[in-house]
Structures are given as structure tokens and as C-alpha cells.
Amino acid sequence: ESLREHETVTKVKNIEMIELGRFRMEAWYFSPYPPELFPNADQKNAIPILYLCEFTLKFFRHKTELQRHYQRNPPRHPPGNEIYRDDKTMLSMFEVDGTQEKVYAQNLCWMAKLFLDHKTLYYDVDPFLFYVLCERDDRGYHIVGFYSKEKHSESGYNLACILTLPAYQRKGYGKFLIEFSYELSKLEQKVGSPEKPLSDLGQLSYGSYWSEILLNVLIESGKEHLSIYDLCSITSFKADDTIQTLQKLNLLKYYSGNYLIYITDEAREKHKKYQARKKNQKRVDPTKIHWTPYESGRKSDKWSIASKVRGNLDQDDEA
Ligand code: ACO
């Protein structure tokens, strides 16, 4: 199985480029689109441009087919429920259930795989929810990125796979998606973490997000005493992500047989920089989330904040 996976992941690109809405984006990796798309079974010749409907993510080899599809008036938004809408930033988030919207979810996974290499992409979409971020205008809701999440994660993952489409990267959407995943964890009253391994870009984005949020809590809360337990309860970060980030920021000091969190001048400077940039960034407004957890009837589990964070700490680190 793992050999087969490796083969799939290392295969040569079979699609050169996609056209999605206003953009053409060069594919980064192979994606296992269905064989019907390659009638000659001659995968040596990659498809030069694959045309995607930006609302349904249906895909076509020829632009005329896509135009005919648009003439049939597909819905101008992703399927599922709009669980977030911000009229100032014109951003919306849709929650799509993999069981109810199999075709859309599958299309989303195939498209995502064009830009993800290290992950086994789940082709069984049933166990997942997909959170699709869109920019809204008078033509409809235009997908800019998404993340997926297991409906139930034994490992306490609150995000399985994240993607900002290349045309929208480095504009803050990655951090928006990450922030959204933690806002949902807060509503679930759980700690959460992204599925590992993270890609290099995933590590950069998470590293920056964790640092920004932890520095903000430590410096702005006005509290002199904050434990790792407190930090995890406030942020919904798992203890090991919190501790690792504090270590990277050089804030954990060993003193008289104990670890202390000690705010350095360097950390204050970093915090100031984050604050200065924040004003221009797209951030999640939690008051605009309208959502109930998928497993709202479920009893608390080991990742629930009250019961778990302490246990996680005892296991993971003495800090
Ligand atoms: N080079 C250097 N820094 C980068 C880069 C880059 N290419 N891309 C993002 N960053 C940094 C940004 O500077 C920012 O940090 P800062 O706020 O301290 O400046 C931080 O990462 C987040 O930037 P955003 O603009 O919010 O992120 P973006 O919208 O570009 O999305 C993402 C990040 C989702 C990882 C995107 O690069 C992507 O989709 N990559 C391809 C798929 C992928 O690798 N996904 C992660 C897999 S791991 C997993 O799924 C659990």
C-alpha cells in the first residue's frame, strides 16, 4: 500500500495548468484525476490546460465544454452551509460534508493534489468535512482555499489538509484558514493540532501563526502568571505545539529546577511587528461564525479542554 502511495506521489505531472475563474495556475504535482480524462492513456503528454468550474470544481479538457457548463447556470457558490460571512472583507466560509457532497469533495481533493506532494490525499471523502473559503462579489463566491477536517479524530487533529490556491497565496489567507480551524476548536471546547507531517509551507504558516497568537496572549493579557495549561485553554493549541513554539521563541527558561516563561525584549519587538501588520490582514471575526460542532451530542473526550490539557502536559512535557 505504501509503495503504491509512493508511486502515486512521485509520478510525473499529468496536468500542466488549470484555469479557474480569472486565473491560470501552473500545477506543482501529479494528481490522480480519473482515467476518463486521459482517453489515449498516454500520460506522457500532460494536459496543457484543464478548465475548472470555480463553483462546482467540475473539470473539462476544452474551454467550450466549460462555457456550456456555465450556460447551464450552475449554483454560484460551493455546496454546503455558509457558516461565516463578513460583509466588510467580503469573505465567506462554507462547510461541506464529504458524505453529502461526494462529487464536489472529490473534485476538491483532485484539484488540491495538484499543489500538495507530501500528503496521502484521502480519496474516501466520507469521513471529512471541508471548509471552503471564498471571496464574494456580484458574480458569486470565488474559492481561494480550503482545509479539511476529520469528522472525528482520535489524534485530536483539527485540520487534515490546507491549501491556498497559488494565485491567492501570501496574502494572509493561509493564516485565516488556520485561525478559523482554531476558532472552531474553541467552540468545541477542545485543543487541536494540524495533521502531521506539515509541508515546508505548512510549517512556515503554522510557526508564524502560533508565535503571533502566543506572544499576543502573553504580552496583552496583562496577567503576570500564565501557565502552559492557561495558554492552551485560551488558544485551543495543543500543549506540544505551544511548548515547541515557546522554545523556538526562546521564552522557556530553566530556573531553580522549574521552567518559567520569560518574555524577552526580542519577543516584545516581534510582537510589535505582528501587531503593526495585523491591521492590514484578513482575520477571522469569531462573532460572524454560525456553527455547531459536528459531534455536538458527543461526550467530552481526551482533547476536551477541561479534562485534557492537564493530561497532555503530564505526558508531553514537564514545563
Ligand atoms: N515563503 C516564505 N514565507 C511564506 C511563504 C513562502 N513561499 N508562504 C507563506 N509564507 C509565510 C508568510 O510570510 C506568513 O508568515 P508571516 O505572517 O510571518 O509573514 C505565513 O507563512 C502565512 O502566510 P499566508 O499568506 O497566510 O499563507 P498562504 O495563504 O500563502 O498559505 C499555505 C499558506 C496554505 C501553506 C500555502 O502555501 C499552500 O497552500 N501551500 C501548498 C499546500 C501545502 O503545502 N499545504 C500545507 C500542507 S501541511 C497540512 O496540510 C497539514
Q: What 3 state SS string does the chain have?
A: CHHHHHHHHHCCCCECEEEECCEEEECCCCCCCCHHHCCCCCCCCCECCEEECCCCCCEECCHHHHHHHHHCCCCCCCCCEEEEEECCCCEEEEEEECCCCHHHHHHHHHHHHCCCCCCCCCCCCCCEEEEEEEEEECCEEEEEEEEEEECCCCCCEEECEEEECHHHCCCCHHHHHHHHHHHHHHHHCECEEECCCCCHHHHHHHHHHHHHHHHHHHHHCCCCCCCHHHHHHHHCECHHHHHHHHHHCCCEEEECCEEEECCCHHHHHHHHHHHHHHCCCCCCCHHHECCCCCCCCCCCCCCEHHHHHHHHHHHHCCC
- Global confidence as pTM: 0.93
**Ligand 1 atom showing the smallest separation from residue 198 Cα:** 48
Is 195 annotated in the active site? yes
Per-residue pLDDT at 318: 41
Q: Is the CB of 174 under 6 A from ligand 1?
A: yes
Going by CA atoms, what residue is nearest to atom 31 of ligand 1?
Answer: 174
Give the residue, out of 91, 164, 168, 282, with the most ligand 1 atoms within 8 A of its beta carbon, to mutate for a pocket test: 164
Q: What is the pLDDT of residue 311?
A: 46
Best of 170, 210, 248 for a ligand 1 pocket test (most atoms within 8 Å of beta carbon)? 170
- pLDDT per residue as tens, the chain (319 positions): 666 666 655 578 899 999 999 999 999 999 989 988 887 765 567 999 999 999 999 999 999 999 999 999 999 999 999 999 999 999 999 999 999 999 999 999 999 999 998 666 657 899 999 999 999 999 999 999 999 999 999 999 999 999 999 999 999 999 999 999 999 999 999 999 999 999 999 999 999 999 999 999 999 988 888 999 999 999 999 999 999 999 999 999 988 888 899 999 999 999 999 999 888 888 999 999 999 988 766 667 888 887 554 445 445 444 4
Our answer on whether the CB atom of 194 is closer than 6 Å to any ligand 1 atom is: yes
Structure confidence at residue 310 (pLDDT): 46
Q: Whose CA is nearest to atom 28 of ligand 1?
A: 174
36, 195, 220, 318: the catalytic one is: 195
| Ligand 1 neighbourhood includes 170 CB (under 6 angstroms) | yes
Compute, in angstroms, the gap from residue 276 CA to the centroid of ligand 1. 20
